[in-house]
Amino acid sequence: MTRPARRRRRDRGGGIPQPPWRRLVNAYAPIEVLSADQVESIHRASLRILEEIGMEFLSDEALDVLAAAGADVDRETRRVRLDRGLVEGAIARAPAEFTLHARNPARDVTLGGTHLAFCPVGSPPNVSDLDRGRRPGSFADFCDLVRLAQSLQTLHFFGGYPVEPADLPVATRHLDCHRAFITLTDRVWHVYSLSRQRIDDGIAMAAIARGIDREALAASPGLITVVNTNSPLRFDGPMSEGVMAMARAGQAVVVTPFTLAGAMSPVTLAGALAQQNAEALAGIALAQIARPGAPVVYGGFTSNVDMKSGAPAFGTPEYAKAALAGGQLARRYRLPYRSSNANAANAVDAQAAYESAMSLWAAVMGHANMVLHAAGWLEGGLVASFEKMVIDADMLGMMAAFLEPLEVTDETLALEAIREVGPGGHFFGAAHTLARYETAFHAPMVSDWRNFETWEEAGAQTATRRANGIWKRLLAEFEPPPIDPAVVEALDDFVARRKRDEGGRTA
């Protein structure tokens, strides 16, 4: 058949096929691994954990806030016991759905219900690509990964730093990273809950970026933070305070217990899920006590360790079941749900892909609303990989196409085309085909469907090698999204002033 016109899709990045950025809705019924009774058993067990065993909060302010709300607080051990009425009352105040506002309103995303959004990998210490190998992350890598994620139309917003820029001073690193998020992308971005000051800076910069004040920002949240509990049953100081500060500012908080079954949680999935649920509910309750109605997300991250070595494993059958069960629990409370696209491979190979596929199917069919680490994660989160980011983005594109409804109409049933072609014919030249072939099927970036001989003559490149070529082309052709120069100037002033403050304090 003849080659179709090339520019049928928005060809971002020099002809690399990508459907345009778009919001996703998941109309499939979720896969349920738990019966309704089992969901209730896990729910009841987690309430007993909070009531009878309790959680440690290492922040004095969190202890005050929780005590004032009626929790049983032991100041000496920092152990907080929360009765079920307190927990259930607090959780009930959380919105089932909320919208995160980007500086470009065309990139706003809604979390909750049947909405689905993908985020690049968050916060690995290392970075890797085929040319330069594995190395600690730098700010140059941070910016390149931000540019790459902005170029990939299947990624909706930033749920973390795509790599930790270890070459920047710790005290002011966040100022440079926030500025890079705002100027290199037009999407929603992330602040760390590592100190009150960092969150305040993030809020100030987000307000500048959108040309609004803090009250308007609180009414139209545009920042998100992801908080991990120190499982089992402990909330550290900065995380506790970050939850409260973000909630009070009306910005979104994702509470994700890191419950590795057999290490930080029971070896049985039911027990790990009960503990995950207890810890997530405790964090969400803290946010709702700090500000009723604050936007929150229930995070699930239960996986298992390799019982031979104790090493964390991801994308395992147990991981998939836990991710699906986590969705059932989040829906039990009408809370938006966060899952991940995780794997434990050391190279961008078949293992990286099949473990990711297990994680991704479980995230999507578990009705995750936010999939963190959806592109670029390698080595159980220790590395951000440029090639993996491209391959994952292609897997996300396939998932997005999979979510498009199958249309059954007289025209798509094509009885007349079948009659016209008849037994033994072919459909290549049929009018029904010619009218539709340019947009009939999803066009991937990475997959190579040429025959073996053609592929071999062209250099026999693996998918990972092709992904290497794609990220380089996308970066070479990157253009930052338009931004008002006055906004950049105001940001630069803010960053300069804050760096002077920090310099004065730490010099």
Residues 54-83 that bind a second copy (CB under 8 A): 54-56, 79
Site for a second copy in 263-302 (CB under 8 A): 263-271, 274-275
Q: Which of 291, 351, 475, 481 binds a second copy (CB under 8 A)?
A: 351
- For residue 330, the surrounding DSSP H or E stretch is helix 317-332
470 is a contact residue toward a second copy (CB under 8 A): no
Those residues whose C-beta lies under 8 Å from the C-beta of residue 356, and which sit 6 or more positions away, are 315, 341, 342, 343, 377, 392, 395
Q: How far is the CB of 340 from a second copy (least distance, A)?
A: 16
Q: How far is the CB of 418 from a second copy (least distance, A)?
A: 6
Q: How far is the CB of 166 from a second copy (least distance, A)?
A: 17
Judged by CB under 8 A, the stretch of 87-95, 171-179, 243-251, 431-439 that binds a second copy is 431-439
Q: How far is the CB of 350 from a second copy (least distance, A)?
A: 4
Q: Which of 62, 149, 249, 348 binds a second copy (CB under 8 A)?
A: 348
Furthest-apart CA pair in the chain: how many Å?
Answer: 83
Q: Which of 412, 489, 493, 497 binds a second copy (CB under 8 A)?
A: 412
Side chain identity, residue 418: I
Judged by CB under 8 A, the stretch of 86-94, 201-209, 281-289, 450-458 that binds a second copy is 450-458
Q: Which is nearer to a second copy, 74 or 501 (CB)?
A: 74
Q: Which of 281, 353, 370, 389 binds a second copy (CB under 8 A)?
A: 353
Where in 230-278 does DSSP place strands (E)? 234-235, 252-257, 260-261
Q: Which two tokens mark 31?
A: 């896969």
Q: How far is the CB of 322 from a second copy (least distance, A)?
A: 8
401 is a contact residue toward a second copy (CB under 8 A): yes
Please provide the DSSP assignment of 398-458 as one string: HHHHHTSPPP-SHHHHTHHHHHHH-TT--STT-HHHHTTTTTSS---SS---S-HHHHHHT
5 is a contact residue toward a second copy (CB under 8 A): no
Q: Which is nearer to a second copy, 447 or 506 (CB)?
A: 447
396 is a contact residue toward a second copy (CB under 8 A): no
Burial class (CB in 10 A: 0-12, 13-18, 19+), 469: middle
Site for a second copy in 206-265 (CB under 8 A): 230, 232-234, 261-265
Please provide the DSSP assignment of 347-359 as one string: SSSHHHHHHHHHH
What whole-number distance in Å separates Cα of residue 172 and Cα of residue 123?
16
What whole-number distance in Å separates Cα of residue 280 and Cα of residue 127?
30
114 is a contact residue toward a second copy (CB under 8 A): no
Site for a second copy in 29-48 (CB under 8 A): 29, 31-34, 38, 41-42, 45, 48
421 is a contact residue toward a second copy (CB under 8 A): yes
Count of residues touching a second copy (by CB under 8 A): 130
414 is a contact residue toward a second copy (CB under 8 A): yes
Q: Which is nearer to a second copy, 141 or 318 (CB)?
A: 318
Q: Which of 103, 198, 321, 367 binds a second copy (CB under 8 A)?
A: 321
188 is a contact residue toward a second copy (CB under 8 A): no
Q: Give yes or no for a contact between 85 and 71, defined as CB atoms under 8 angstroms apart.
A: no
What whole-number distance in Å separates Cα of residue 115 and Cα of residue 316?
25
Q: What is the 3-state composition of the chain as percent helix, strand, coil, each rounded to the nearest 5? A: 45, 15, 40
What whole-number distance in Å separates Cα of residue 270 and Cα of residue 338?
19
What whole-number distance in Å separates Cα of residue 156 and Cα of residue 372?
10
28 is a contact residue toward a second copy (CB under 8 A): yes
Q: Which of 442, 472, 473, 499 binds a second copy (CB under 8 A)?
A: 442
- 47-77 burial code (b ≥16 CB/10 A, e <16): bebbbeebbbbbbeebbebbeebebebeeee
Q: How far is the CB of 295 from a second copy (least distance, A)?
A: 27
CA 359 to chain centre: 12
